[in-house]
Amino acid sequence: MTLATDAFTTYSAVGNREDLSDVIYNVSPTDTPFITGIARTDAKAVLHEWQVDSLAAASSSNFVLEGDETSTDATTATTRLSNTCCISEKVPRVTGTQLAVVAAGRKDELAYQVVKTTKELRRDMESILLANNAEVTGNATTSREPGGVPAWITTNTSNGTSGSDGSAGNTARTDGTQRAFTESLLKAVLASTWDSGGDPDCVMVGSFNKQAMSSFTGNATRMKGAEDKTLIASIDIYSSDFGDVEVIPQRFMRARDALVLQKDLWAVAYLRPVSMGELSKTGDSERRLINAEYTLESRNEAGSGAVWDLTTS
């Protein structure tokens, strides 16, 4: 077939309207399971403080004589912990001209950018709280930073060769030699956490080690009706000797870590929750300030654990 002589085609036309869909497609993930799953509390100062305590070890020889002169047991003080609030922000800015033109996919460019950057801010916060980051108290020239989860967990851990734990949020952990994630490593940390008094309810891992967990035999039963013709190749709940734990794939944590968490022993403490305010105009544009001031509260790290130094490919 050939084009008819003198037929006018779209290749020559200059007046055809563009075909631009009125939908904007965004594949970037916005789920933040750590912030969503843990508690929320209020901070009252830049340095957020709280107390933790524990019971004396159980005694199997607590026997006294009838009518015995009683003696006083030693009293131990609570432990005072702290973490520093940081400030995270996003500032979208749109020119007056862009606000005036007709845009596809949104009625108001500034409103669209506010929604988009608010989601970005929440992703940043998730990443900050899960980072192997030591607390920085800050000064006039240095931003404040909170200690992240890996800098807190010390009691129930499994390290690769030369790896060492952090401490109280103010010392980051030292990474060791990476090794494959195995069920025996996870079971050892779960047992240690339970022995310490914890009741972990979730394991957070990156994509590679989420798939590694799906090969663990602790949850080998994957049943579906034969008529469904569906093969179940993943683990969403791992049934351990100490209870079921949810397996949560986490995009915003280090892929080399597996966090075994009791979620109610962690909280995000807000000195100022996420909010939006107008900024003064400095030209022909509109700006908005979206920010939050917050920190991580580790209510008792002994209720959680971690398998560190895992391979990621």
pLDDT of 19-67, one tens digit each? 666 666 666 777 899 999 999 999 999 999 999 888 888 888 888 888 8
Residue 254 CA from chain centroid, whole number: 10
Burial class of 241 by CB neighbour count within 10 A (0 to 12, 13 to 18, 19+): exposed
Look up tokens 């020889």; give the residue: 61
Q: 43-61 b/e with 16+ CB inside 10 Å = b?
A: beeeebebeeeeeeeeeee
- pLDDT given at position 233: 55
Name the token pair of 36. 């969503």
Alpha-carbon distance of 40 to 154, in angstroms, equals 23
**Domain limits of the chain?**
33-52+78-307
Name the token pair of 217. 């035999």
Per-residue pLDDT of the chain (313 residues; tens, 9 = 90+): 787 786 767 777 777 677 666 666 666 777 899 999 999 999 999 999 999 888 888 888 888 888 888 888 888 899 999 999 999 999 999 998 888 888 888 888 899 899 999 999 999 999 999 999 999 999 999 999 999 999 999 999 999 999 999 999 999 999 999 999 999 999 999 999 999 999 999 999 999 999 999 888 765 444 445 555 554 556 688 888 899 999 999 999 999 999 999 999 999 999 999 999 999 988 999 999 999 999 999 999 999 999 999 999 9
Domain 33-52+78-307 indexed as CATH 1.20.5: no
- pLDDT given at position 22: 65
- Please count the helices (runs of H) and the strands (runs of E) in the chain: 5, 13
- pLDDT given at position 223: 46
Alpha-carbon distance of 60 to 256, in angstroms, equals 41
Name the token pair of 262. 């009791």
- pLDDT given at position 53: 87
Q: Which phi and psi angles does 47 have, rounded to 5°? A: -95, 105
